[in-house]
Amino acid sequence: MKIALVGATGLVGGVMRKVLEERGFGDCELIPAASARSVGKKVTFAGKVCNVVSVEEAIEQAPEYAIFSAGSGPSLQYAPLFAQKGTVVIDNSSAWRSDPDIPLVVPEINGDVIRPADHIIANPNCSTIQMVMALAPLHKRYRIKRIVVSTYQSITGTGMKAVNQLAKERAGEPCDMAYPYQIDMNLFPHGGTFEENGYTTEETKLLNETRKILRDNEIGVSATVVRVPVTGGHSESVNVEFYEDFEMSEVYDLLNNMPGVVVQDNPAENLYPMPLFAKDKDEVFVGRIRRDFSQPKTLNLWVVADNLRKGAATNAIQIMQMLVNR
């Protein structure tokens, strides 16, 4: 089987190569593709050295699958060209997520929405994936009315330039700025670009994508996205109001039985999720689970996951695995 990886030289592309190996695709023929400035570079996959080719060349090879992690511009330009060749595209950018005809998929939640004729499938935003993984079983049981979420997002979500900025700042060296401000010893409420309504594009994604994945357009979402100087993953403080009341024991049971979710919640032993321990793991970790006593039918959660793994590479490859197994 041939698999094209568009954006193979980027931060997420490197993680995708690793996850492909881990999940049994090491024997496949990988076609690493990237922009013109990266053509001719070499990447390693399953112990082999592969030459990076242009996206046009990758299209001509008509792979069975193409996984994109190259930004919305290249996805809009090239995904339809792959699809015309019969390739199934799994896109990690925001290009197709809001398209009503394109499935937006977290396999543990809504893999059933993918139809045989679908040749472009959208991978949700990293912060959305981890939140809905925790909320999906609760929504099914109690139905969500409203979510208030504040995210504490790793700089790895911005890419290598941001990672380099933090490293250089900590070393006291000059650097190219990925952000408008210093990130070390700082945080700022700015993820994506600001829209006219005062929210950022990252915050709007949390609203629209949550509704689409959970198949409920009445869910209210109020989001604040914050960038923090960590590299292990994204963290989220989630306050969720339901239509139906809940028992805490059942909440724990539902979360414990959700595939891909790990409950870490023992305050007496200082056990709670942290990006320090979520790094390089595929699970979504949930803790600080407690009733909100300020209003009825409302729950507080703390949700952490490696944004490069389950938030990006792992979820995309899980989609491909599901389709291959079908």
Phi, psi of 227 (to 5 degrees): -95, 130
Distances 279 to 97, 191, 230, 295 between C-alpha atoms, Å: 26, 21, 10, 34
Q: Among this protein's residues, is 139 annotated catalytic?
A: no
Q: Identify the active-site residue in 28, 50, 126, 139.
A: 126
| Residue 247 · residue 159 · CB < 8 Å | no
What is the three-state SS of 200-244?
EHHHHHHHHHHHHHHCCCCCEEEEEEEECCCCCCEEEEEEEEECC
In the annotation, is 50 catalytic? no
CA distance linking residue 77 with residue 6, whole number of Å: 12
The CA distance from 304 to 316, in Å, is 18
Yes or no: say if 153 and 227 are a contact pair by the CB < 8 Å rule: yes
Catalytic residues: 126, 234
